[in-house]
A and B are shown apart, each in its own frame.
Chain A
C-alpha cells in the first residue's frame, strides 16, 4: 500500500490517539514540573483598646486571583517527584540512617504514600497473575471433560465475573463480605470471633482485594485455555498413551507445552491489566488500608482542592512503571519481527 493511501486510512485513528493519548502524556509531564501557588500572605495591623499588633493572614482574594491567572502554578522543576508524597528521597535516607532494624526501616517506608501504593500494586499484580493462570487452566481442563450439553451454560456462567463492570463486581462482593453480609457473617461464625471484619486490617483488605482480582480475571484465562485445548493434537495424545504415558504425564508433556504460547499471552495481558488496578479499591472503599498507583492519582484529583501537580508526578512515575513492565515484551516482539523479515 502506498504511503499516501496508508496515511489517509490511518489518519482518523492516529489523530485520536495522538490528541488524547500522546498529548495528555506530554501534558502530564509538563504539569508535574509545576506546583500550585502558595497562599498569598499579608500582614494586617489589628488595633484594639490595648494597642496595635500585626498579624499574618491569608489573602484569599489575591490567592484565588493568582491561581486563576496561572492555573498551572509556579515552576518547581523535579521538586514534586522527590517530595514526601512521591519518591520521598529525604525521608528515606533519614529513615535509613536512623534505622534500628531492617524491618523498622521497611515499615517507615511503607508509611510513605507512594511506596505504600507501589507495594500494593506490585503485590496485587504478581500474586494475582500466576494464581489466576493456574486456576483458569484447571477450570478449562474440567470444563473440557464435561458432556457437550453442559459446556455452553458453564461457559456462560464463567464469563460473568469478567464481563461485569469492575466497580459493580467489587461492590457486589463488598456487600457480601460486610460484617452483616453473608460471607462476613459466615466467617465470624467459622472463626468464632464476632468482631472479625475483613475491612479492619490492611492484611485482610489486601487479601480480599487479591481474591477479588483472581475471581474477576480467572474467566479470561479459562476462555483462552479452553480455546487452546480444542486444538491439542489428538494424534500426539494417543501416541503418548500408546507409549505408556499416564494421564498426568500426558497433560504435563503434551497439553501444557501446546498451551505455553497462550500462557505468555495471558501473562502479558494480565500484567498490564492488574498493574492498573483501581476500581476494586473504590468499590471496596479500601483507600484507608490499600491504595494503588491509580487510586492515589484519583484521590489527588478528587480531593477538596484538586492537586494536579501531585497527580501528574504520580502519573509520570506510573507510566515509567508500565514502560519497565513492557520492556521485555517489546524486545521479544522486536526480535520476532526481525526474524520474520530475515
Chain B
C-alpha cells in the first residue's frame, strides 16, 4: 500500500533509517552491555585499563579460569538470598494485580454506565490522585502504621499498592467499558437480569481484552515500585527492587557490585519476556487513553 504520499526520496529514506538505527542502539545497548558484563568479574565490568577487557573478559580469565563466570549470580541468589526477595515480589505483584483488577472492573463499569455528574467528579479526583507522588503518601502512612503495628508486612504493602493503582485502573477500564455497547447489558436487564447479573453474565465474558491490558500495567506498577516497598517492608520481607538498592548501600567490597549487576539483570529478565508476549497489548494500552482524549 505504498501510496504516492508516503513515497520518499532516497536521501530522506537513508536519513530516516539511520536515525531509527541510532535510536535502536541508544535504546538497547545499555541492556546488552550489562547482560554481557554480568558474566564478568568486577575488574572487567569496570575496566581501569582497557574497555575491551569487558568484551574478552581478560581479568575474568585470570581470576576464574574461564571467559564467563556466574559468580555474580550465585553470590546474589544464594549468598545474599535474592531468591527470598523474588518470592516476596511474586506474592506482592500477584495479589496486587488480582485485587486491583477486581476493584477496578466493578468501579470502572459503574463509572462508564452512570450518567450522573458525580461520576465525572470521581474521575477528576482519580486524575488528581494519579498525579500524587507516591512518596508523599508514604510519609502519611509511616507513623500510623508504626502505631498500629502493621508496618513491615506484605499484606500492608499489597493493599497500599492496590489503592495507589486504583486511579489508573479506574480510568483505563472506564474508557474500555465505554466501548462496550450499552445495549448489551441493558437488553439483559430488560430480560429480567439485575444490574449485577447483567454484569456477571453479559459483560464479564466480553471484557477480557481490556482487563488483560489493564492487568499488564498494574503488574508493571507493582513490579517497578520502589518508594512504597522500600519504606513499608521490613528487611526480611523486602522485594527485589529495594533489595537491589540495599546491595548498593552495603560497603563497596570487591565483587559486591557484581552481585547487584547480576540481580539487576535477573530482575529485568521477566520484563523482557513480558514485552515479548504482550507487546500488542502494551501498545494498545498506552494509546487507549490518548485516543479517547
**Footprint of B on A, CB under 8 Å?**
1, 3, 5-6, 9-10, 12-14, 16-17, 19-28, 31, 71-72, 138-139, 141-143, 145-146, 152, 154-161, 163-169, 171-173, 175-176, 178, 180-182, 185-186, 215, 219-220, 223-224, 226-228, 234, 237-238, 240-241, 247, 250, 261-262, 265-266, 269, 272, 275-276, 278-279, 282, 285, 293-294, 297-298, 300-302, 306, 308, 311-312, 315, 318-319, 322-323, 325-326, 329-330, 333-334, 337
Contacts and interface: CB of A to CB of B under 8 A. Distances in A.
Given A6-B114, A146-B20, A333-B124, A171 B264 contact: yes
A238 B1 CA distance: 13
B241 A165 contact: yes
Nearest first, the 6 closest Cβ-Cβ pairs linking A and B are A24-B140, A20-B163, A13-B107, A9-B110, A276-B133, A315-B136
Nearest to B195: A5
Given A154-B20, A168-B267, A181-B46, A323 B128 contact: yes
Interface string B122-144: 10101111111111111111111
Interface stretch (B67-75, B77-85, B271-279): B271-279
Interface size class of B (residues with CB under 8 A): 35 or more
B90 interface: no
A180 B176 CA distance: 49
Majority DSSP secondary structure for residues of A touching B: helix
A337 B282 CA distance: 28
B95 to A, nearest CB: 13
A183 B207 CA distance: 47
B37 to A, nearest CB: 8
A32 to B, nearest CB: 9
A20 B220 contact: no
Contact of B140 (A5, A25, A240, A326): A25
Contacts of A138: 19
B55 to A, nearest CB: 10
Contact of B27 (A141, A160, A178): A160
Given A175-B34, A326-B128, A167 B245 contact: yes
B109 A21 contact: no
Most buried by B among A1, A5, A330: A1
Given A156-B276, A238-B4, A294-B135, A172 B283 contact: no
Contact of B110 (A1, A25, A182): A1
11 contacts: A14-B122, A24-B137, A25-B137, A156-B279, A165-B241, A172-B264, A226-B283, A241-B5, A247-B8, A329-B127, A330-B128
Contacts of B160: 20
A265 B26 CA distance: 25
A297 B136 contact: yes
Given A1-B110, A6-B116, A28-B139, 10 more contacts: A12-B102, A13-B106, A21-B166, A71-B146, A155-B283, A159-B275, A168-B264, A223-B287, A227-B290, A334-B124
B179 interface: no
B250 interface: no
A325 B143 contact: no
Contacts of B124: 330, 333-334
A9 B103 CA distance: 9
A19 B160 CA distance: 9
B139 A297 contact: yes
A301 B163 contact: no
A337 B47 CA distance: 59
B227 to A, nearest CB: 6
Given A142-B16, A294-B133, A21 B163 contact: yes
A312 B170 contact: no
A164 B271 contact: yes
A28 B24 contact: no
B226 A167 contact: yes
B255 to A, nearest CB: 14
Nearest to B12: A247
B45 interface: yes
B33 interface: yes
B5 A21 contact: no
B110 A219 contact: no
Contacts of B114: 1, 6
A137 B144 CA distance: 46
B282 to A, nearest CB: 6
B72 to A, nearest CB: 12
A165 B224 CA distance: 5
Contacts of A250: 5
B289 interface: yes
Contacts of B127: 326, 329-330, 333
